[in-house]
A and B are shown apart, each in its own frame.
Chain A
Amino acid sequence: MRYFTEDHEWIEVDGQIGTVGITDYAQGQLGDIVFVDVPADGRSLGKGDEAAVVESVKAASDVYSPVSGTVLEGNTALADQPDLVNSDAEGEGWFFRLTLSDEAELESLMDEAAYEAFVAKL
C-alpha cells in the first residue's frame, strides 16, 4: 500500500517496513537533481522530521519523514546517480527505508487518488 504527504513524499508500506521517496510531481518541480543526502542507518525519526536533503540546480529542499521510525538503510545508489530521482522518482529513486514505530500514523496520509486530487489543485 502506498501513501502520500502534502509535502510530496511517498511511502510504500510492506508489513512493518516503509520505503520513502519524493513524488514524480515533486521531482518535476525541482528540476535536475544534482545531490541527495540520505539519513544514516539506525537514525531515529519522528513524523515530520527532516530526514533527507535533495538539491537541484534550482534549490535545496528538505525531505520529511512521513511517519516515525528507525532508518534501516539509505539508497546508496543516489550518491553517484542523483538523476535516478528524476528518471524514476517513485521507483529506483527511493530515498530510505525505515521500520515503522506507529502504523496508526499512516491513517493521516493520503492514498494515491487523494494525492492526485491534491496536486491537481496546486
Chain B
Amino acid sequence: MSINQSGWRPEMTAGDSRAPAPGFTGNKALMLEEPLIFEIGDGETTGVDLPAVARTGASRFGGLARTAPIGLAGLSEPETVRHYTRLSRQNYAIDLGLFPLGSCTMKHNPRLNEKMARLPGFADVHPLQPVDTVQGALGVINELAFWLIELTGMHGVAMSPKAGAHGELCGILCIKAALEKRGEGHRKVILVPESAHGTNPATAAFAGFTVEDIPATPDGRVDLAALEARLGPDIAAVMITNPNTCGLFERDLKAISDAVHAAGGYVYCDGANFNAIVGRVRPGDLGVDAMHINLHKTFSTPHGGGGPGSGPVVLSEALSPFAPLPYTARTRDGHVHLIEEERAEEFSAEHFDGRLDSFGRMTAFHGQMGMFTRALTYILSHGADGLRQVAEDAVLNANYVLRSLEDVLDAPFAGAGPCMHEALFSDANLAQGFSTLDIAKGLIDEGFHPMTVYFPLVVHGAMLVEPTETESKAALDQFIGALRSVAERAKAGDAALKSAPHFAPRARLDETLAARKPVLVWKDPAPQREAAE
C-alpha cells in the first residue's frame, strides 16, 4: 500500500449550506460566463498587424466606397480561439453523453470514419478536377451507391441530395416527372398519414401537390381502410414513414403499396428511421418506389452539432429513369464514369434502353463527399452481420427504455407490443400544472440533452426517446434513472421543477417573451451611453 506523504487530504465541511457569494467574474469555477464577441472586441484590435499603406491615387470603389467603420469586433488570435472554445464547452454533444432525441438517430460517429474521410485523396479533391484524377473518390460514390441499392432492394439511387428533406423533394420530383411522362400530371393529391414526419407534407406542398391527411388507428399505425377509401384517379402518391414517428413498424406497408399501385399512384417512404430495420427489411420488397436514406442518421455521419447531412434517394425501376444528374456508374470498360448532361444520352442507351429522362439537377455537384466516405467506411467496417446487429440493438435498447419507464410515464402504444427504435411517452399522468416541458428542463439539470418533445402530434405532450444502439446498459440505466427521478418529481408536483434548469449556464428562459420581442442583432450600447453623458 502506498501512502500519500504530502499531507494533502480532500476535505469538505460537513453540513455547510452557506451559499457562496457571487464572485467577481460571474464564472462558476470552470464554467465560464462568456460575453458576446462584440463585447470582447473593438474596432481598435486586430489579429493581424499590417503596415500602414500610403494611399496613392483615388479610390477605385467610386460611390461604393465604405464611409463608416464596418462595425465588426476585432480580436487577437488567442481571444478568438478562447471565445469559441469557451462557447463550445456550453454545448452538448454525442461525444459528451447520451443524446436521446427521438426521430434523429444521434449515434456515435466511429473515429475510423473520420480517419478515412480525412485521407487527402477524398478530403482535398475539387468537384471541377479532371475526372481522371478523382477515380478513387468516384469509386467511393459508386460503391456506396451499390450498397445502398443492395440494402434497400431498390433499382437505382440518386446520390446528390444534401439531406433528408432535400431527398424527399428529389423523390417527389421523380414521381412528378414519371406522372407527367405518363400524361397523368393531373394527379395532384399526395396522402400523408398523421404518423409521418412533419417534413413530408411540407415537401409535397413545396413540389406543388395538395396534401391530405390519413388518420392513424388507435394503435398508432396508418388506417389502411381510410387510405384505401381515399385512393382514386387524383392521387399522385402516398408518403409513409416506416418505422413511423410513434416508433412502430407499419405492418401493412406491402398492402398499402399494392393498393396505391393498383390506383396508379406511387409510394414514397421516409427512410429517416431506416436505422431500426437496416439489414432486416428491404423497402424494395415492400413495394416502395422512392426512399431517402439519411446517411447522417443510419450510417453514422456527424449529425449532432449540425454536421452536414446527406440524403441519397433509392428508386424503384419505375422511377430510376427520372433521377437527377449527375450519376456515377461503372461502365462496361471497367472505369467509374461520371455521367453529366453531355454523356446522358450515351448512358441512357447503355443502362436504360434509351429511357433515361432525368428531371434535372438537385445540386451543382455530386453530393456530400465527406459523408459518402464516412458512410461507406461504416458499412464496410460493420459488414452485413454488423448492420443487422445495429438494427437489433437499437430496437432492443428502445424497448428496454420503454419497459423500464412505462410504470412511471404513460406509454400510449406500449400495449400494442414491442416498439421499434424509439420509445414514446405522453404527459397523461403528471401532476396538475406540470407538463412535458418541465420534464425536459429537469433532464438538463441531470446532465442530459432532453428527448424530442411535443412530437409526434398524435400524442399529447409527446416525449420521444431514441437511445440508438450506441449506448451500453449502464448508460441506459443512468438515463432511465434520471428520467424516472424527474418524472416522479413531476407527478409529485415538485415546484422546483417548474423553474428548472437551475444548474445550466442559463436558467429557464421566457420563451414567450423571446418569441414576441426577439432581439436578433447586437446593438452597440455606446451611442446611448454617449447620449446619456
* Chain A interfacial positions (CB closer than 8 Å to B): 32, 34-35, 55, 57-58, 82-83
Any A CB within 8 A of the CB of B529: no
Measured between beta carbons, the chain B residues less than 8 angstroms from A57 are 511-512, 515
Q: Which of A32, A55, A82, A83 counts the most chain B CB atoms within 10 A?
A: A32
Complexed CA–CA distance, A58 and B516 (Å): 13
A68 vs chain B, min Cβ distance (A): 21
Q: Name the 10 nearest CB pairs between A and B, nearest first.
A: A34-B515, A32-B512, A34-B516, A57-B511, A57-B515, A57-B512, A34-B512, A82-B516, A58-B454, A83-B516
CB proximity to A under 8 Å, residues B474-532: 511-512, 515-516
A61 vs chain B, min Cβ distance (A): 12
Complexed CA–CA distance, A32 and B514 (Å): 11
B454:A35 contact, CB within 8 angstroms = no
- Identify 12 new A-B residue pairs, CB closer than 8 A, beyond the known A32-B515, A57-B511, A57-B512: A32-B511, A32-B512, A34-B512, A34-B515, A34-B516, A35-B515, A35-B516, A55-B515, A57-B515, A58-B454, A82-B516, A83-B516
* Chain B interfacial positions (CB closer than 8 Å to A): 454, 511-512, 515-516
User: Looking at chain A's contact residues, is the secondary structure mostly helix, strand, loop, or mixed?
Assistant: loop
Of the A-B pairs whose beta carbons lie under 8 Å apart in the complex, a sample of 15, sorted by A's number, is: A32-B511, A32-B512, A32-B515, A34-B512, A34-B515, A34-B516, A35-B515, A35-B516, A55-B515, A57-B511, A57-B512, A57-B515, A58-B454, A82-B516, A83-B516
Measured between beta carbons, the chain B residues less than 8 angstroms from A82 are 516
Complexed CA–CA distance, A18 and B481 (Å): 56
Closest partner residue, chain A, to B457 (CB atom): A59
Complexed CA–CA distance, A57 and B515 (Å): 7
B212 vs chain A, min Cβ distance (A): 15
Measured between beta carbons, the chain A residues less than 8 angstroms from B515 are 32, 34-35, 55, 57
B197 vs chain A, min Cβ distance (A): 16
Complexed CA–CA distance, A35 and B518 (Å): 12
Complexed CA–CA distance, A82 and B512 (Å): 11
Measured between beta carbons, the chain B residues less than 8 angstroms from A83 are 516
Complexed CA–CA distance, A34 and B515 (Å): 6
Measured between beta carbons, the chain B residues less than 8 angstroms from A34 are 512, 515-516
B376 vs chain A, min Cβ distance (A): 39
A121 vs chain B, min Cβ distance (A): 16
B166 vs chain A, min Cβ distance (A): 22
Measured between beta carbons, the chain B residues less than 8 angstroms from A32 are 511-512, 515
Complexed CA–CA distance, A30 and B300 (Å): 37
Closest partner residue, chain A, to B511 (CB atom): A57
Measured between beta carbons, the chain B residues less than 8 angstroms from A55 are 515
B60 vs chain A, min Cβ distance (A): 45
Closest partner residue, chain A, to B516 (CB atom): A34
Measured between beta carbons, the chain B residues less than 8 angstroms from A58 are 454
Complexed CA–CA distance, A82 and B518 (Å): 14
Complexed CA–CA distance, A58 and B457 (Å): 11
Complexed CA–CA distance, A83 and B516 (Å): 9
Complexed CA–CA distance, A83 and B517 (Å): 12
Measured between beta carbons, the chain A residues less than 8 angstroms from B516 are 34-35, 82-83
Closest partner residue, chain B, to A58 (CB atom): B454
A36 vs chain B, min Cβ distance (A): 11
Complexed CA–CA distance, A55 and B516 (Å): 10
Complexed CA–CA distance, A76 and B515 (Å): 19
Measured between beta carbons, the chain A residues less than 8 angstroms from B454 are 58
B323 vs chain A, min Cβ distance (A): 34
Complexed CA–CA distance, A70 and B511 (Å): 36
Measured between beta carbons, the chain A residues less than 8 angstroms from B512 are 32, 34, 57
B184 vs chain A, min Cβ distance (A): 28
